[in-house]
Amino acid sequence: MNLSTVLLRWYDVGARDLPWRTRPSPYRTLVSEFMLQQTVVATVIPYFHSFVERFPDFAALARAGEQDVLGLWSGLGYYTRARNLHRAAVAVVEEHGGALPRDEATLVTLPGVGPYTAAAVAAIAFGAQTFALDGNAARVVARLFAVAEPIDGPAARLRLRARGQTLVPRLRAGDFAQAVMELGARVCVAGRPRCASCPVIAHCRAQATDRTDVIPVRRVRAPKKIVRVACIAVERAGKILLELRPAGSLLGGTWTLPAAEVDAGESEPAAARRALSALGLRRVGALRELGSVRHVFTHRDVTASAFQVKATGRPTGSSELRWVNGRDLVSLAVSSFTRKTLGLLRDAPVRAAS
């Protein structure tokens, strides 16, 4: 029995009951693929439910304001995905009559849609006989074919996709794409794969040659940049001042505490005072240290120290600023990093900063 037949039978019996699979549509497929980029399924599910309830189709999403979209994305991370999904919806409505294009060549012209997403949507939503190569699929193909070269270079990924393409059945290409993803997520996992549970173990060359622990091979990555940041919680009349991060910057389009990166040789309190000075506000009372949190981004390992201060005056500067209370945070685009720093206001004992 060929590999695709075996894998599809396994998928039919044990596929996870996921919301984008139970009531599939091109729109729901595209939303799920955007959300699943660099994010695990369990995290995505509640966000997906809320998002499609608020924006049930391309027209509703295209009409929405960007801040409304980012607000529902709040905490999911990688906010460029949300902005691109919004822009893609606008393009579908304005350029394609509200219908998602069916072919990969046109799909890849939409904002935020790369080769993988285009292939996944074409296969899952429209049954196109194409292979979608994400991280899970790359790992599966590398082991099936015992690929010994690093899999994370562009040329290598093209070769992996070509090998995967040879496995795609003429019928049920969308189910096959999801079956490969499912296999990579649940069985052919990174590190120690669960080979005893693998439905296609008879087809796996890495397992046959006892190399599943060393395949796939990846290039050595440069270490993440270590960054220290001082965040300042400015209070006035029971509200906290938040700053809208500019588009294109880290956490662009989300609301954060005003902050300053700590320079070499500078203390965190000094950086906090510098951040306050940049706002044009007058400090009232002592600058109090709340504690620190660590947050690992894709390319940065950030330790943020938070400080609390009462201030008066009208904030100045070019950034967009807003005084908010706890209720306001529900509707604002606030990242998980910012939620961590705001959590220090509630949880950490305060102490005078030096």
Residue showing tokens 């939503």: 125
CA dihedral 250, 253, 259, 263 (to 10 degrees): 20
Residue 137 bridge partners (DSSP):
none
Helix (H, G, I), strand (E, B) or coil at 350: coil
Q: Which residue from 336, 273, 291 is spatially nearest to 78, judged by alpha carbons?
A: 336
Return the amino acid letter for 262: V
Pair 311, 236: CB distance under 8 Å: yes
Pair 176, 131: CB distance under 8 Å: no
Per the annotation, the verdict on 268 as an active-site residue is: no
Q: Which of 33, 104, 268, 289 is catalytic?
A: 33
Return the amino acid letter for 199: P
Token pair recorded at residue 310:
């009462």
Q: First-to-last CA distance in the chain?
A: 72
Catalogue the active-site residues.
33
